[in-house]
Chains A and B, each alone.
Chain A
Amino acid sequence: MALRRCRIHKLSPTLTGKKCVSSTQSAVRTYYSIHHPDPAPFPPIQAQILSTALKNVPRLGFSRDALLSGCRENGYLEASAQLFPRGVYDLIHYYLVTQRLALKEKVQFQQDAKLGLTQKVKTLTWARLQANVDDGIIEHWQDALGHMSLLENIPASLKELGNLSDEIWYLSGDTQVDFGWYTKRAQLAAVYAATETFMSTDRSKDYADTKEFLDRRLGDVRVVGGTVGGAMSYMGWIAGNGLGLARSWGMKKDAEQQPNNLVGISLFGNQDEVEAMSRLKKKLSSMRNNRS
């Protein structure tokens, strides 16, 4: 940890030629590698203060008091809260990031278990929602949602939601690389956001209502996805039929071959007349070519 701090201190705007990576941001890596562990998401002092503050959230809520208690209990001054320019939102952001990263340790799928993709996604999503309960912050989650929906915080909140959705799909073993990558993550993000909002007001035993809500939402996704897919293939079938019909009426692929005045005949006349006229025209044009 100290070594990393030293390395970061050496970076200066003149050397790198671009915006200086401040010592409070961890070294920003623009790639992801499974062979090298990710750098810590938060600098050590901030992480220390925020983790203590998080332990006090069940008692104090997501408030400035929790943040200050984190500072005080680690032996820092109340003035040290200046480390968090976004105030309480920094605490909420810390919670979101650490819970997302903890999913990997929390849910381990057995290699031999024949679980479908949907089942894995459901397990991971429920594990993340359960974490809200285990940490005791679900009573204060409405305050947190309020903070996350402030205009200056919306981009960061949406980014974290996208990251969570991505993490869940990745951990469940999704390997799709076409456009479905985007649609699946967008759908899961929407489902998760709706379920978490519902959970913040749920008073049922063991959050059974929330679990049913999640099942219904994931079922909707399956049904809607299937319906949309079915509708697309139906439209495709209709379009294919229409094309065949047009071809049978004399529509040719090559526009040169199609005579100008045969358009009217092709709509109102019969097939034989159309074919006879087109053969005649072809003969005339070949005679013209031979002569020239």
Chain B
Amino acid sequence: MASRLLLRPSRALAASSAGISPTRALSSCARRLQQSQSPEEDGRTTHFGFETVPEAEKEARVGKVFSSVASSYDTMNDLMSLGIHRLWKDQFVRSLNPGTRTSSPGNAWSILDIAGGTGDIAFRMLDHATNINGDLHSKVLVSDINPDMLAEGEKRSLQTPYANTGRLDFKVGNAEKLDFVESDSIDLYTVAFGIRNFTDKEAAIHEAFRVLKPGGVFACLEFSHVDSALFNMVYKRWSFGAIPLIGQVVAGDRDSYQYLVESIEKFPTQEEFTGMIEKAGFMVPGKGYENLTGGIASIHKGIKP
């Protein structure tokens, strides 16, 4: 009782010493109201993990997440998937079987890897095309919205045999608006563990439809929803309990990891995402997706008719 009486006068004292009028709270509210009606925001919001943010803001915040993890991206992936992400990426590339056996400059594949900053998928594609299909002419264009991730990829490409061969190219760009790619020019469009970070997935899928040649393939490897309810319980405990903690301890960045597990949770289910792919005009083979490791990740494919 007595302590409460003590506190109140001290707060008033602090306020008056700072020269702030007692009606400050109201005026700051009015200022924030004006800000929210500014022309940049038209009221459309999207999710950033479990947070709802204006669409214009999501890009910047995702950028911050990935800039901060660029150099330790592999470590982050290893922690999130216990190293299995390498198997997933191998399976992804193997099932796509890029490259042609009757290789010549004329019928080389032109592959576009979106959100492939660090080059994991791009290098695997080129290795598969070169070593397994004997294709020395297929090329990959890696595009990422984050220049830091792309720089990391360029650095790593110097260790591969494709560094200055003209088969590997890196360009910064927004998947929702690929101005530097002509329509009907790509054989294979891949996006691995990137599309859940896009602000507007449908725009990205429509853009993929535009740039692909007729008969071209859209392939997406992404974290998805687990089939079995029992396994899902265990998986969610691991995701929300352990991963941010490991991120905190190992990389010192709890928030990025928290965002990442939340974004997985918000991603549409396999059937919903297949519906989105079909809505853009793609033909979907079989049931449209292949679950990996019980549904923790899944490969979605679509072919442009």
Contacts and interface: CB of A to CB of B under 8 A. Distances in A.
Are A and B co-members of a single complex?
yes
B275 interface: yes
A77 B215 contact: yes
Interface in A1-40: 9, 12-14, 19-20, 22-24
B272 interface: yes
Given A22-B278, A22-B287, A45-B283, A80 B215 contact: yes
A82 B271 contact: no
A181 interface: no
A66 to B, nearest CB: 13
A259 B299 CA distance: 77
A45 B305 contact: yes
A71 interface: yes
B300 to A, nearest CB: 11
B274 interface: yes
B148 interface: no
Interface residues of B, number: 31
A77 B187 contact: yes
Q: Which 6 A-B pairs have the closest CB atoms?
A: A76-B215, A77-B215, A80-B215, A85-B286, A79-B217, A22-B284
6 contacts: A22-B274, A24-B286, A77-B187, A77-B215, A82-B219, A85-B285
A68 to B, nearest CB: 8
Contact of A23 (B107, B109, B283, B301): B283
B217 A82 contact: yes
A246 B213 CA distance: 85
A5 to B, nearest CB: 9
Contacts of B287: 19, 22
Interface of B: 96-98, 100-101, 107, 109, 187-188, 213-217, 219, 271-272, 274-275, 278-279, 283-288, 290, 301, 303, 305
B285 A77 contact: no
B288 A22 contact: yes
A106 B301 CA distance: 38
Given A22-B287, A80-B217, A82-B217, 12 more contacts: A12-B275, A12-B279, A14-B275, A22-B278, A22-B284, A23-B284, A24-B284, A45-B283, A77-B187, A77-B213, A82-B301, A85-B286
Q: Decide if the interface of chain B is mainly helix, strand, loop or mixed.
A: mixed
B275 A76 contact: no
Interface of A: 9, 12-14, 19-20, 22-24, 43, 45, 65, 68, 71, 75-86
Given A13-B275, A22-B274, A23-B278, A79 B286 contact: no
A68 B100 CA distance: 10
A65 B272 CA distance: 34
Nearest to A44: B305
A45 to B, nearest CB: 6
Q: Which of B271, B285, B301, B303 has the most CB of A within 10 A?
A: B285
A84 B95 CA distance: 11
Nearest to A85: B286
Contacts of B215: 71, 75-77, 79-80
Contacts of B109: 78-79
A19 B290 CA distance: 15
A13 B271 CA distance: 7
B216 A77 contact: yes
A78 B100 contact: yes
Contact of B283 (A78, A81, A83, A86): A83
A146 to B, nearest CB: 20
Nearest to B282: A23
A71 B97 CA distance: 15
Contacts of A85: 285-286, 290, 301
A79 B107 CA distance: 11
Q: Which of A14, A22, A84 has the most CB of B within 10 A?
A: A22
Nearest to B189: A79
Nearest to B188: A79
